[in-house]
Each structure stands twice: as C-alpha cells, then as structure tokens.
C-alpha cells in the first residue's frame, strides 16, 4: 500500500472508532500479553493505549522503508544529508566486533579511543595521574547540550556505582553555574574536562576560560588539571592541553548521541572503565534487538509507532516521560534534546514541507513528585497527554525496600487510573456516601469525574544498572530514528539552534550601549532597560 494510503487508513481508523481502552481489554483476554514486548530482561507494555490489532497492523505498514534506512545508518552511509555525514554513534557501543561487515577500521578506532580513555580513567582513579595537590578528588565536566546532558544524566542515574572522584557538571553560561560548582573545590585536586564536539560553543568556551583562570590563580601549572574531549582536536591544541589528555571523536557522532564515546569520559571516571563497558554492552544489546526483532516485536519500532499514533494521528501535542526512579531525574531533559532536537523539524529530507507534523513536545519529571504537581492536568485536563512510565523492579537500598514498593505501586496505580477513570455514577455514589444530596451532590460529583481512557505505556527493567541504562538510552535513540524515518525528516542535524546563536552575537554590543543596525524596537528597549538596571555602564 502506498505510504499516503497508509496514513489515510490510520486517520480513518481513528475517526471511525471511538476506541476505549478498558473495552479493548474486555474484548481481548490476551491483550496484556499481546501488546507487551519482552526482550533481554526488559518489558515494554503498550496495552494501555487505544491501539487494537487492526490499528497496529496499519501502523506497521508505515515502516516499509525502515530496514533499508536502518541498514544504511548502521553501515556508515552518509544519511545525515544536510551535513554530509554518516551517523555511527552505535559503533561506539561495539568496540569488539565491527558494526557492519566492512566496519573494521571504524571498530579499531573506537576500540583504541576507548582503551585510551580507560587507561586515563584508571590512572586518575588509582591516583597515578595526579593533580598538583595530590590525587584528584573532583572532576568538573564543562559542556552543554549533548556534551553535558548525556554524562550528567547517566552519572546521576548510576550514583550507586560511582566509586571514583566526585563528578560535577557545569553547562550554563550563567556564571552562577560555574561559581556554585567551584565553590568549596580544591583547585589543586580538581580535574576540569572541557567537553565540546566543535570546541567553539560560546557557553563552554567562556566557562572553560573562567575555570582556567580559577586554576591559574591557585596552581602553578593549570594544564596539569585539564583534559579535553572534542572532534576538533586542532582547536584543543590552541588551548595547550596535553595531547595525552585530549580524546577525539569523529564527526559521525552527533552531540546528542555522544555519551557512548569520549563525551562519556566523566561518567567513566565516576563509575570506572568496566562499568562503562557494561553501559556500552547494554546499548549494543539494544542495537542487536533493533536489527533482528520483527517489527511487531521490536521495542524501538513499537515505541515509535505508539508515539506516531498519539502525536500524528490522535493529535496529542505532547508526551510525558515519567520515570519512577529519582535517579532518572535528568532523563526527561536528556530525552528532550534527543527527541526535540532530532525530530523538531518542518522540512523533509528533500527540502519539501513535511506532509505530517514534526515530533511532539517531550517533557516530564520523576514520579511520585509529578503526581503532586502536574498530574491533575494529566487526569482531568482537556488535553490528553500520553504518558510513558518507566520503572525498575528493584532499588539499591535494601533497607528502604518498603519505599520502593510504594513507588512501584504508585506507578502502576497512575496508569490504571488514567485508563479506568471514574464516571459520574461512581462520583455521585461517593458524594452520596458523604451525605450530599440534590444539586450540590451533582455539582460536587462533576468535579470528581475522571474521564479515563487516557493512554500510557510502561517500560520495566529489573534495576537501573549501567547495562539497563545503556538499553534504555539506545531504545530511545532508535525510537527517535524510527519516528524520523517515518516522518521523512533528517533526525541528525539541528539547524534550528543556529539563528539564536548568530543573533546573540549581534545583540551583545547593545548591552554595552553601542548601536546595532536593524534592531527591532522591542529588543532595543529591553536592552536599554537592562543597561539602566545594570547602572548604565558602557
Ligand atoms: O559539543 P558542542 O560542540 O559544544 O555542542 C553543544 C551543543 O550545542 C549545539 O548548539 C547543539 O544544539 C547541540 O546539539 C550540541 O550538543
């Protein structure tokens, strides 16, 4: 069936049927199992969505081109056509076997860099490589976007596995970020990693210069306290960073996909090279699943199709990622970059307008905290927010396992409540039981109605470990890829971030009282107000 006809069919299915999730369960006793995928210890349940078998078949017809695109990506073709680059971050997860039959040179490069990282990390961790004041006690990763979110998110997720120097992450050009981080650190025992793919990002370079000044004010040889991670090793040379402490990577690793390689150096310093390898192994296992499982049993494919159904067909504008795991607190922010920078596009690969929308707004917070904040809207608001619950069966605090059970019970209860809801009759009975009658009973009951039939998916792992975190991240990466292929866009460029960067440069002189041509009246007056508040300098 031509792809346009598939979209039409999906729209028709959506319009024709008022699918009700509880009714789908009633009609299909095997629904829970039939709409759950189990792979490599993970469980992905999408049965609490209004997708039935017919809709799923129609959704699967969207993936006709997927295998060809997947194989093109995983064999090093330049599928990032607007930047003329291959997309091979998955190769970083396969240091032992080439990702594709001709990929030995790539594998060898990945393995060599990983070995250098491991040797550096081992020697920092065992104190053989030292700062001027002794073994390193603290590591400050300076980077932003993909050079921050991946390692920062993973470091927090893997707190129980951290047994190296303390990790800190500075990203914002707001001096508060650097100042708050450096306060209390011993410069002579702090390693500063400047992480930037391009080594030109103004925020990172500004923070790096100030960190260098901080070091220079306290130690004789700041270079001894520095390391760099970049794909622009020519630029790191300008900073006189010892080449032994520079870890390069190729331009086929996109920033938001880069945690698996040298950008993950801070994480490796925290958890050690062996556990970092476990993290890679988890990601590699998901690659293998993505490549080999039939689409209907393929976790990234089905996660993508559920997302496409909700956003493109049902028209739900956002999706919430709700990890019931406090240490996955930065996962929503990480996924915001992964998904919104990858698929927040309006033009198809060939330059024409997209026939369908871009990807959705992604947001979220860990449960149970979110329950006491924004779940009100999720349950009773007028717009529907598909929810993606993530939970781990076991925590890392055996003495507090009763907390963990409560956490899990909340996770299960929320998806059930979203699906079941509470109808007016039930609400009326509740009010009657409280002694209300007549119009007041009706009024109060209406406030207590939950429409229900609200979709969610649930992803389970046994525990958040380096391996399972690798699985989860690679799962989402491939999900984003599948959605991008179906929508026909390039998930691997990010031209949308450029204009603001350019204008920041041209606006800056306004704050010094200089005139800048072609400035709009609002920006001029805001800059003037700021200058006045700052005491009229310039
Ligand atoms: O690693 P860098 O070159 O410093 O880039 C850091 C970040 O900034 C850019 O503006 C991009 O939007 C991100 O994709 C990137 O991760």
For 165-215, the pLDDT digits (tens) are 999 999 999 999 999 999 999 999 999 999 999 999 999 999 999 999 999
Say if 207 falls within a structural domain. Answer: yes
Catalytic annotation present for 372: yes
Domain that holds residue 521: 499-533
Say if 369 falls within a structural domain. Answer: yes
CA triple 380-383-386, angle to 5 deg:
90
**pLDDT tens per residue, the chain (538 residues)?**
788 899 999 999 998 877 799 999 999 999 999 999 999 999 999 999 999 999 999 999 999 999 999 999 999 999 999 999 999 999 999 999 999 999 999 999 999 999 999 999 999 999 999 999 999 999 999 999 999 999 999 999 999 999 999 999 999 999 999 999 999 999 999 999 999 999 999 999 999 999 999 999 999 999 889 999 999 988 988 888 889 999 999 999 999 999 999 999 999 999 999 999 999 999 999 999 999 999 999 999 999 999 999 999 999 999 999 999 999 999 999 999 999 999 999 999 999 999 998 999 999 999 999 999 999 999 999 999 999 999 999 999 999 999 999 999 999 999 999 999 999 999 999 999 999 999 999 999 999 999 999 999 999 999 999 999 999 999 999 999 999 999 999 999 999 998 988 888 889 999 999 988 889 999 999 999 999 999 976 5
Coil/strand/helix, residue 387: strand
Which value does ipTM take for this structure?
0.98
Which pLDDT does position 538 carry in this prediction?
Answer: 55
Which pLDDT does position 503 carry in this prediction?
Answer: 86
CA of 397 to the centre of ligand 1 (A): 36
- CA distances to 234, 369, 393 from 418, in Å: 54, 17, 21
Structure-token pair, residue 396 = 């890392």
CA of 163 to the centre of ligand 1 (A): 29
CA of 23 to the centre of ligand 1 (A): 46
Which pLDDT does position 237 carry in this prediction?
Answer: 85
Structure-token pair, residue 177 = 């970020």
Q: Which residues' Cβ are closer than 6 Å to ligand 1? A: 144-147, 196-198, 201, 204, 255-256, 341, 494, 497
CA of 501 to the centre of ligand 1 (A): 11
Atom 14 of ligand 1: nearest residue by CA position = 255
Element housing 476 (H / E) = helix 466-487
Q: Are residues 504 and 368 in the same domain?
A: no
Q: Are residues 473 and 504 in the same domain?
A: no
- Closest by CA position to 192, among listed 214, 177, 159: 214
Q: Are residues 155 and 275 in the same domain?
A: yes
Q: Are residues 487 and 504 in the same domain?
A: no
Residue 299: give its domain's CATH number: 3.40.50.10490
Q: Are residues 219 and 335 in the same domain?
A: no
Catalytic annotation present for 402: no
Cβ partners under 8 Å of residue 454, min gap 6:
378, 379, 384, 385, 386, 387, 418, 419, 421
Q: Are residues 135 and 239 in the same domain?
A: yes
Tally of domains in the chain: 3
Say if 5 falls within a structural domain. Answer: no
CA of 253 to the centre of ligand 1 (A): 12
DSSP states of 104-170: HHHHHHHHHHHHHHHHHHHHHHTTSSEETTEE--EEEEE--GGGTHHHHHHHHHTGGG--SSEEEEE
Say if 47 falls within a structural domain. Answer: yes
The atom of ligand 1 lying closest to the CA of 337 is 14
Boundary-marking domain end, from 225, 247, 279: 279
Indicate the top mutation candidate among 494, 503, 504 to test ligand 1's pocket, ranked by most ligand atoms within 8 A of CB. Answer: 494
Which pLDDT does position 1 carry in this prediction?
Answer: 77
CB 414 within 8 A of CB 367: yes
Atom 8 of ligand 1: nearest residue by CA position = 145
The atom of ligand 1 lying closest to the CA of 230 is 1
The atom of ligand 1 lying closest to the CA of 143 is 4
Q: Are residues 275 and 302 in the same domain?
A: no
Say if 24 falls within a structural domain. Answer: yes
CA of 256 to the centre of ligand 1 (A): 8
Q: CA–CA separation, 524 vs 520, rounded Å?
A: 6
Atom 9 of ligand 1: nearest residue by CA position = 145
Say if 363 falls within a structural domain. Answer: yes
Q: Are residues 302 and 221 in the same domain?
A: no
Which pLDDT does position 2 carry in this prediction?
Answer: 81
Among the listed residues 238, 372, 402, 505, the single catalytic one is 372
Q: CA–CA separation, 319 vs 328, rounded Å?
A: 17
Coil/strand/helix, residue 37: strand
Which pLDDT does position 3 carry in this prediction?
Answer: 84
Among the listed residues 78, 403, 405, 501, the single catalytic one is 501
Q: Are residues 212 and 353 in the same domain?
A: no
Say if 167 falls within a structural domain. Answer: yes
Q: Are residues 52 and 99 in the same domain?
A: no
Atom 10 of ligand 1: nearest residue by CA position = 497
Say if 437 falls within a structural domain. Answer: no
Looking at 183-330, list the stretches that DSSP marks H as alpha helix, in order from N- to C-terminal side: 202-216, 233-237, 265-271, 273-292, 299-308
Q: Are residues 257 and 203 in the same domain?
A: yes
Q: Are residues 299 and 268 in the same domain?
A: no
Q: CA–CA separation, 403 vs 71, rounded Å?
A: 44
The CA-based dihedral angle spanning residues 75, 92, 285, 300, taken in that order and rounded to the nearest 10 degrees: -70
Catalytic annotation present for 54: no
Which pLDDT does position 18 carry in this prediction?
Answer: 72
């Amino acid at each position: 069936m031509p792809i346009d006809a598939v979209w039409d069919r999906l729209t028709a299915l959506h319009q024709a049927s008022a699918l009700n999730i509880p009714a789908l369960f009633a009609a299909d006793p095997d629904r829970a199992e039939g709409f759950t995928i189990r792979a490599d210890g993970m469980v992905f349940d999408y049965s609490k969505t209004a997708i039935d078998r017919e809709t799923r078949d129609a959704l699967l017809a969207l993936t006709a081109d997927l295998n060809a695109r997947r194989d093109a990506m995983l064999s090093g073709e330049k599928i990032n056509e607007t930047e003329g680059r291959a997309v091979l971050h998955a190769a970083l997860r396969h240091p032992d076997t080439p990702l594709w039959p001709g990929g030995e040179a790539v594998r060898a490069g990945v393995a060599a860099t990983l070995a250098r990282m491991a040797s550096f990390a081992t020697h920092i961790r065992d104190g053989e490589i030292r700062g001027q004041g002794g073994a390193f006690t603290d590591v400050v990763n300076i980077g932003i976007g993909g050079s921050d979110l991946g390692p920062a998110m993973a470091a927090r997720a893997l707190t129980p596995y951290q047994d190296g120097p303390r990790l800190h992450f500075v990203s914002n050009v707001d001096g508060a970020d650097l100042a708050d981080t450096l306060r209390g650190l011993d410069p002579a025992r702090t390693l500063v990693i400047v992480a930037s793919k391009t080594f030109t990002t103004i925020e990172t370079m500004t923070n790096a210069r100030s960190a260098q000044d901080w070091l220079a004010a306290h130690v004789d040889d700041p270079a001894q306290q520095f390391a760099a991670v970049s794909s622009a090793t020519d630029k790191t040379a300008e900073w006189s960073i010892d080449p032994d402490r520079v870890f390069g990577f190729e331009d086929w690793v996109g920033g938001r996909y880069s945690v698996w390689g040298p950008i993950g150096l801070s994480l490796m310093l925290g958890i050690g090279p062996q556990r970092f390898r476990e993290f890679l192994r988890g990601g590699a296992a998901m690659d293998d699943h993505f490549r080999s499982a039939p689409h209907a049993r393929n976790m990234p494919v089905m996660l993508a199709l559920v997302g496409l159904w909700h956003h493109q067909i049902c028209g739900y504008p956002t999706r919430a990622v709700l990890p019931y795991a406090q240490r996955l607190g930065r996962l929503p922010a990480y996924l915001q970059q992964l998904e919104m920078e990858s698929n927040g596009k309006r033009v198809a690969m060939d330059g024409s307008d997209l026939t369908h929308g871009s990807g959705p707004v992604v947001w979220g917070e860990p449960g149970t905290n979110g329950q006491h904040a924004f779940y009100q809207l999720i349950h009773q608001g007028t717009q529907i927010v598909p929810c993606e619950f993530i939970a781990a069966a076991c925590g890392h605090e055996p003495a507090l396992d009763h907390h963990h059970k409560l956490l899990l019970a909340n996770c299960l209860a929320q998806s059930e409540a979203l699906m079941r809801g509470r109808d007016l009759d039930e609400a009326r009975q509740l009010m009657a039981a409280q002694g209300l009658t007549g119009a007041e009973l009706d009024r109060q009951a209406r406030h207590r109605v939950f429409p229900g039939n609200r979709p969610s998916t649930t992803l389970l792992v046994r525990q958040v470990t380096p391996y399972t975190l690798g699985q989860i991240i690679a799962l989402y990466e491939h999900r984003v890829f599948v959605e991008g292929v179906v929508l026909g866009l390039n998930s691997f460029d990010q031209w949308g971030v450029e204009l603001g960067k350019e204008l920041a440069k041209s606006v800056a002189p306004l704050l010094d009282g200089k005139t800048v041509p072609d400035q709009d009246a609002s920006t001029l007056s805001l800059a003037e107000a700021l200058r006045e508040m700052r005491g009229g300098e310039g």
